[in-house]
Structure 1
Amino acid sequence: MKLIPNFAELLHDVKLPTAEKCFFIEEGDEKYIEKLISKGELTCDLEKLFNWINLEYKLKKKNLNNEERQLAEEVKKRFPVDKWRVIKIFSDHQQKYRYYKKAIEDVKRRTTPRMNEQAIMTIFSPGRGINT
């Protein structure tokens, strides 16, 4: 599982997709996560995926037999088990930023600096909801 190639560009342009779409599944990954993918895409959120991987492949356990240890090492090489949270934070932050930015821009379009309190409150009345 790898980070999408244009992640840095999308991060810079504040255009990141959802965290799940920031990664692509490489050939061979299906073997490890087949329960959580369909048609080459994740069927769950990133947090559920990595919690499942940690439990399924005992990545946090210390007392593993040789076979379990080798499998855990292979999984750690294939999946960003220690770094996925950073990508999720960036993606979630940008999605919230874009949502609030649209809401603020909509309010700015509907108001003027000289509006009084009563006029401002009418922009929130039913039928005049903020378009997001």
Structure 2
Amino acid sequence: MKLIPNFAELLHKIKLPSAEKCFFIEDGDEKYIEKWMKNGEITCELEQLFEWINIEYKLKKKNPNHEEKQLAQEIKKRFPVEQWRVIKIFSDHQRKYRYYKKAIEDVKRRTTPRMNEQAIMTIFSPGWGINT
């Protein structure tokens, strides 16, 4: 599992997709996470997938046996078990930023600098709704 090749470009343009779509599945990854995939894509939230990986492959076990150790090493090579949270934070932040930016732009279109308090409050009443 690797980051999409244009991640840095999308990050700087504030156009990141959902966290789950920031990664692509490499050959052989299906073997480990097929339960969470359909048509080559992740079907659950990233957090759920990585919590499951940690439990299923005993990545946090204190004294793993030789087989568990080898499997854990393979999993850590294939999947960003330590870095996925940062990708999720970037993606979630940008999605929220885009939503709120649209909401603010909509409010600006519906208001003028000279509006009084009562007039401004009417844009939040039912029927006006913010278009996003």
Q: In 2, Cα distance between the equivalents of 1:66 and 1:13?
A: 45
Which residue of structure 2 lines up, in the alignment, with residue 66 of structure 1?
66
Q: In 1, Cα distance between the equivalents of 2:57 and 2:108?
A: 51
Which residue of structure 1 lines up, in the alignment, with residue 7 of structure 2?
7
Which residue of structure 2 lines up, in the alignment, with residue 24 of structure 1?
24
Count of residues in correspondence between the two structures: 132
Which residue of structure 2 lines up, in the alignment, with residue 124 of structure 1?
124
**TM-score, with structure 1 as normaliser:** 0.98
AA partner of residue 36 (structure 1): W
Q: In 2, Cα distance between the equivalents of 1:126 and 1:50?
A: 41
- CA deviations 1:20-45 (Å, max 9, x no partner) are 00000001000000111111111100
SS in 2 for 1:96: helix
Q: In 1, Cα distance between the equivalents of 2:71 and 2:112?
A: 62
Residues 1-132 of structure 1 aligned to structure 2 (within 5 Å): 1-132=1-132
* Aligned-pair CA distance for 1:67: 0.9
Overall identity of the aligned pairs, in %: 83
Structure 1: tracts of 5 or more residues without a match:
none
* Aligned-pair CA distance for 1:51: 0.3
